[in-house]
A and B are shown apart, each in its own frame.
Chain A
């Protein structure tokens, strides 16, 4: 069924309070670190102080002898996992690499890489024991920067890494894991037709997802082999799959229970602690809790990739782009697998172009293996492309929104990576931006305005949901996706809408791996789309049962029953004349009409509609300090249909905030030894509330016909445009183009000093 007629909807499109809201506000919600188990021990991970070092010896004897220590593990306690691609989390991963990322084997590849772990009767003893573990290292030369890692003679992280995607296979290993290319049309011909060519190089930094909750888990490995894993993650099935593989446990022997999650943004789509805690628990036979400190999160877990973006665009004087070329060099961290693929695919997806050539490099260096972060890969490449398009617009003297409109992707556009777009709403976002009062307001001195657009695929995939009618006519919805953005509210709303009952009568829960069918993790902006589809279908199945129960009570055929406003009615006068039966009426009698009324649906959802966004940003630059103030910010986005508009707006505002941080101040600072110098929120500068104006949101609704309510993913595309929007605004304000992120005050002041020495400077 389809519910695209907005006027007919009673629940979807309203803004009720999320079911998990009160617990979270008053501090009662149970996050990863809140769980305890009887007899539980405290674990602690020992981490490498070196960016790159061969581990020549680990002596755990002193730690083992410390009173209160019950287990110590090193890589020797884990199976040596062979090279095998994993499709469990978000983004590329390899089981061997993941195993070695959780516990270094032979070599430590970054400052903060886990090398051993202990479990003890208190956290203080565990900390003391970690210091007693003696690790001998042979320190090796290291490399942090992506282009330095690609250079000849760079320190090699993996001597078996031969760049894939190059024929014939290179003779020598390198830090370039992979090269990929995408081609459409004839790039040489395109540039030959161009009347203006702009070629620029941009760079971004790896950034932290900045989830507030550090990684945490409590696990038990039973003597019969049955394991329980309680942890904060973006997917309990992902946790189960990785633990099973990394430790050689049958999936049936692992019950992974999702904790409330205190933010993830992609950073919790893989595991760090759970396999280690299980290995400790197995060794000592007691449950083990492992909780990272903030410093461990910064040093030992994966940031978003950063990288170098080289853009070349050829255009006619009219503004029509005739050729576009891109080279991306992305940081993967210590193991292969940066999101350079999606970076390549999203870069020009906003445009309808005939001639495109894109090359991407996946490059390892001595930093933590990158993890997903909202629209992994897209913000980097889009920062380059949308900055370059702005430079083009300025050069040609064309309004940047008009230039985008002239070249915009629309239904029927064949993307450079293959598929043809349908039902997309990019142009409506440009129109809405152009017509927005913000775009017309006047700017003052030292102020500037920038616009930028962004694209993200959104995904569907495997989801399960069940709907249970309780005896009193209330309803339970069980789904398999940890709720990181208010998705439980959306699930309950869709179920309530289909069933025709109030939202408050539906209570959603996120089930553990034994309570609901397989569900792919929370990522790719898939949950409201894919799991929402499963919930809707399960609710529809329940409606069918309710109709047949009513039919049984009335002794008429089920086809003669109609479901409306939460009640069964005879469908027309031919069906007979009966008083309508409410869901509660039927529920009470369900024992006598065939038993419990439930339905579970498992699907592989297809047809996730892509998301487009266009943002407008105003800044003011303090020319003496280089400080950038965000004066006003408006985010326009095609959201398909907003199931819960407040939570959609929240996604947009959150993505913008994170993008502004990426643009202005966020970066990991490594010292000359490759040690992280800012492992905390004091010197890793995410925006604070007072840094930002209220982010204004405009939801454009171009419904996705493949979803019953028209939903498309909304959580990722809002982080794609901000970096270029801010950069373009700064260029407008100061007349100098900043191409390297972050655009921090010292860099802006230096750029201004190059323009002309400030009047009052010394000398």
Chain B
């Protein structure tokens, strides 16, 4: 009979020890909205599950000077009810808030969304677009890495055995900086992004873009930071020519597959559409600050 061991340590060290000492496959548990579904369907057969939610700091949002520090297992509902975060990064909150339903929001976390390593994860593009740093604990202590360094392919991460994410450090916005996230799904909710796009822009006083990050989801094996899209924006206002260049750059960055959720052709076109639409929202928000 299949059996699985469960540990709920109360410190990072204990958790690291448990993960490192496991005999077979060990999985970290945050909200479980991916993990438990995979467990039930038989897609994964872990020997050990380490629940991180009892570790102090894993749930909660701290305001630390230049950063928001978000515990890795903080559920979506806490992100969307945090006025400061919501005001600073409406795009990050939009992305996280799109995950599942009210029930799922009570559990689903940024770490789970990132480490499940689906290219379609909704919170990831805006988190990467904000140049978020993740703090990782492991046998050799703590290390930091940019959020985009975690996911290396569908279902795969760069985390070593025994490592897990403890928190997300999100830099606070500069003057005239803001973000936006949009995804396309055939319905209005409860669906997986066919394409997602997070755009983060900084403007000068005249509305000219000085810095930008455009991140696409679901158009390649991992989320894609579209350098050419940022180039298309930087030095420009959001006029028709800029939008056209942005659309083109976004489409060019796509390496999607054809599957039950969309064709290569369609995903590519919609990536351009969402790049334009998120840029328009982000510019408007940034200009309003």
User: Given contacts A124-B1, A746-B262, A762-B251, are A688 and B188 in contact (CB under 8 A)?
Assistant: yes
User: Given contacts A682-B192, A761-B247, are A745 and B1 in contact (CB under 8 A)?
Assistant: no
Among the interface residues A122, A664, A762, which one has the most CB atoms of the partner chain B within 10 A? A762
Residues of A within 8 Å of B, CB-based: how many? 31
Q: How far is the CA of A125 from the CA of B3 in the complex (A)?
A: 12
User: Given contacts A682-B192, A683-B260, A762-B251, are A625 and B273 in contact (CB under 8 A)?
Assistant: yes
CB closest residue in chain B, given A67: B1
User: What A residues does B263 contact at CB under 8 A?
Assistant: 746
Q: Using A624-B270, A749-B270 as known contacts, list a sample of 5 further A-B pairs with CB atoms less than 8 Å apart, ordered by residue number in A.
A: A128-B1, A664-B186, A685-B186, A690-B187, A761-B272
User: What B residues does A295 contact at CB under 8 A?
Assistant: 41
User: Given contacts A665-B186, A691-B187, are A678 and B266 in contact (CB under 8 A)?
Assistant: no
State the 9 A-B residue pairs at the shortest beta-carbon distance, nearest first.
A746-B266, A762-B248, A690-B188, A624-B273, A762-B251, A669-B260, A691-B188, A683-B260, A677-B260
A627: Cβ under 8 A from any B Cβ: yes
| Residues in B lying within 8 Å of A, measured CB to CB | 1-2, 41, 184, 186-192, 194, 240, 243-244, 247-248, 251-252, 259-263, 265-266, 269-270, 272-273, 276
User: What A residues does B252 contact at CB under 8 A?
Assistant: 762
Closest chain A CB from B3 CB (angstroms): 10
CB closest residue in chain B, given A671: B260
Q: How far is the CA of A243 from the CA of B137 in the complex (A)?
A: 60
A173: Cβ under 8 A from any B Cβ: no
Contact in complex: B187, A760 (CB < 8 Å): no
Closest chain B CB from A619 CB (angstroms): 14
Contact in complex: B260, A760 (CB < 8 Å): no
User: Given contacts A124-B2, A677-B260, A749-B266, are A685 and B272 in contact (CB under 8 A)?
Assistant: no
User: What A residues does B194 contact at CB under 8 A?
Assistant: 745
Q: How far is the CA of A750 from the CA of B266 in the complex (A)?
A: 8
From A125, A685, A753, B187 is in contact (CB under 8 Å) with A685
Q: How far is the CA of A749 from the CA of B184 in the complex (A)?
A: 13
User: Given contacts A665-B186, A746-B263, are A685 and B247 in contact (CB under 8 A)?
Assistant: no
A687: Cβ under 8 A from any B Cβ: yes
CB closest residue in chain A, given B277: A624
Contact in complex: A745, B186 (CB < 8 Å): yes
Contact in complex: A685, B191 (CB < 8 Å): yes
A744: Cβ under 8 A from any B Cβ: yes
User: What A residues does B247 contact at CB under 8 A?
Assistant: 760-762
User: What B residues does A683 contact at CB under 8 A?
Assistant: 192, 260-261
Contact with B along A652-671 (1 / 0, CB 8 A): 00000000000011000100
Contact in complex: A760, B272 (CB < 8 Å): yes
Contact in complex: A125, B1 (CB < 8 Å): yes
Contact with B along A749-763 (1 / 0, CB 8 A): 110010000001111
Q: How far is the CA of A627 from the CA of B277 in the complex (A)?
A: 15
Contact with B along A671-709 (1 / 0, CB 8 A): 000000110001101011011000000000000000000
Contact with B along A582-626 (1 / 0, CB 8 A): 000000000000000000000000000000000000000000111
Q: How far is the CA of A750 from the CA of B244 in the complex (A)?
A: 20
Closest chain B CB from A726 CB (angstroms): 14
Q: How far is the CA of A762 from the CA of B247 in the complex (A)?
A: 7
User: What A residues does B240 contact at CB under 8 A?
Assistant: 760
User: What A residues does B248 contact at CB under 8 A?
Assistant: 762-763
Q: How far is the CA of A392 from the CA of B176 in the complex (A)?
A: 56
Contact in complex: A688, B262 (CB < 8 Å): no
Q: How far is the CA of A746 from the CA of B270 in the complex (A)?
A: 9
Contact in complex: B189, A690 (CB < 8 Å): yes
CB closest residue in chain A, given B273: A624
CB closest residue in chain B, given A293: B41
User: What A residues does B269 contact at CB under 8 A?
Assistant: 624, 749, 753, 761
Q: Return 12 A-B CB contacts under 8 Å, by A number.
A: A128-B1, A128-B2, A683-B261, A688-B188, A690-B188, A745-B184, A746-B265, A746-B266, A760-B240, A760-B247, A760-B272, A762-B251
Contact with B along A196-235 (1 / 0, CB 8 A): 0000000000000000000000000000000000000000
Contact in complex: A687, B187 (CB < 8 Å): yes
Closest chain A CB from B166 CB (angstroms): 30
User: Given contacts A760-B243, A761-B272, A762-B251, are A682 and B191 in contact (CB under 8 A)?
Assistant: yes
Contact in complex: A744, B189 (CB < 8 Å): no
CB closest residue in chain B, given A623: B273
Q: How far is the CA of A687 from the CA of B187 in the complex (A)?
A: 7
Q: How far is the CA of A124 from the CA of B270 in the complex (A)?
A: 44
Closest chain A CB from B202 CB (angstroms): 24
User: What B residues does A625 contact at CB under 8 A?
Assistant: 184, 270, 273
User: What B residues does A128 contact at CB under 8 A?
Assistant: 1-2
Contact with B along A116-132 (1 / 0, CB 8 A): 00000010110010000
User: What B residues does A122 contact at CB under 8 A?
Assistant: 1
